Structure 1
Amino acid sequence: MDTFIGIRFKKETAKRFQEFSRTHFRSHTEAMAAMLDFFFYNEISPKEKLGPTGRTIEASIKKRINAVIAIMRDVEKTQTKPTAAMIASLFQAEEAPKKPLILEKAMREEKKEIRRKAGEKGFQKKLNTNNEL
């Protein structure tokens, strides 16, 4: 069996250590060994701060998220909505009057000439028939 040694602690610290070791370990020796191993293997000092806690990280993330939301709202107001409105107004513009193609113009003129010629011949025939009476 291992031998024990007495170490002097203040009463408050000794009570805190006893409560901690009872809840997490079987003996005070195991608790002290685990704490010493933790600091040794992780190469940290008990006097060092390990960094921000969960609450401070959560608060900083919430602030950043709120800032991103504000930026997105600003972009939507100043860029997205006006651009969408301009594009919509372009599509809603009245259609330009339909101009016939050059080929269509030429075909229309030819049809008019054919009608005139046919009309003149028909008119002349009627004149000839009327004169013969």
Structure 2
Amino acid sequence: MFFQKIQSALISLFIIPFVLPLFFPYALDLSYGPSVAVYLLYAIPIVFIYGTFTSILSEYISQKTPFRSKRVTYFVFHLIAGWLFVVPYGLLFDPSIFETGIFNLASLLGVSSAFIFYAVDQLLGHHFKTL
């Protein structure tokens, strides 16, 4: 399971920096190339540390849940974890990101990245037959 999560993180790192500037082109006020570089710079530690940890935790929680569809629980937990990543940053370092509400651009970037990580992990899960 841990090996699959590391693989998911590596593959996601090749997808996230190239996809996010396409969906959110004005997020950084940069052109596509520099946006990819900035997203890659920030995505490496976030995806490897936070993404891998929350993916392992969400898989554990989804296996323990009494709900019928464990994949839906796994998916929802991924999206919530992607959204929650922004909350500590906003509370500790930059409270101004919440001026537009709790569903702001930063939280949309987190949810989008979590969705990509989830999709890659599911594709690898089908390959390894883990879920």
Q: Same fold (TM over 0.5)?
A: no
Structure of higher RCO (CA pairs closer than 8 Å, 6+ residues apart): 2
Larger Rg: 1
Higher helix share: 2
- TM-score under structure 1 normalisation? 0.21
- TM-score under structure 2 normalisation? 0.21
